[in-house]
Amino acid sequence: MNKLSLQTVLTVLPVLSAALYLLGATYFEGYLEGFGVDSPLFTLSIDRSLYIGFFSIVNFGLVPMAYTFLAIPGLLFIIGFAALISSTTEAKRLQEFLQKYRDSKKDPQQKSAAAKPPGILLWLADKSTDLSIYVGGIFILLVVILLMALLSQNAGQKQAQREIKDFENKTGAQVFVYETSKSTPVRAKQITCGSSHCAFWVGTGSVVIKHEDISRVTAHAQPLK
């Protein structure tokens, strides 16, 4: 029992980590898109992406999460309905007709070879139930992760829109950017910083400035009057 539990944990942890990383990356991508900033200049570290991925799940809310999990029974219903149709008498007759037609096109040597299936096919037939369960579970898991990634990207865009409104109302965290080529500072909202550039929202749009072109940045956590 302990061995099975440990094996389950070791199997689930990499999948969970990959899912959180994907959610963090898509959330950050949507956040930058909300400000109109290209993402190639700004990359996330793995630990930061995992943190943002967890934050994005909390930020989803109950309604989007309910839609995501309701998609699973819907998907199972579609698969079951397709399997039910394929098991009807008309579908079986069509399959038998197509099989007979394919067999009629084969020469005797091909028929004799087909009469002796290789060992791998026998093994697959014996393990068909287990394989179907595993494949179905993996497929459903991928669908759920992709749906959550889309929700995460949308959540990042909405967060950017909220911060833009806060900037217009002069609320939230804001900064004054002092550039080396300008004598007066610019009021801005710091979006993110990478290894060589920083992105700011200045009200009319986003600007990306190199580190060497910034002399200093003064932060203001309280609303500006």
Q: Which residues partner with 199 through β-bridges?
A: 192, 208
For CA atoms 133, 135, 141, 147, the dihedral sign is negative
Let me know: does 199 contact 160? Beta carbons within 8 Å. Answer: no
First to last CA, the chain: 63
Kindly list the domain boundaries of the chain, sorted by start residue. Answer: 2-160, 169-220
Let me know: does 167 contact 215? Beta carbons within 8 Å. Answer: no
Q: How far apart are CA 177 and CA 213, in angstroms?
A: 10
Q: Which two tokens stand for residue 106?
A: 């084969």
DSSP state of 66: H
* CA of residue 175 relative to chain centroid, distance: 32
Let me know: does 56 contact 155? Beta carbons within 8 Å. Answer: yes
pTM attached to this predicted model: 0.66
Domain 169-220 has CATH 3.40.50.300: no
CA 69 → CA 15, 78, 135, 136, distances in Å? 18, 15, 19, 16
Q: How far apart are CA 218 and CA 6, in angstroms?
A: 50
Per-residue pLDDT of the chain (225 residues; tens, 9 = 90+): 454 466 666 666 777 788 888 888 999 999 999 999 988 888 888 888 888 887 777 666 555 555 555 655 665 566 565 555 555 666 566 666 666 666 666 555 555 555 555 555 555 555 555 566 667 777 777 877 788 888 888 888 999 999 999 998 888 888 999 999 888 999 999 999 988 899 999 999 999 999 999 999 998 655 555
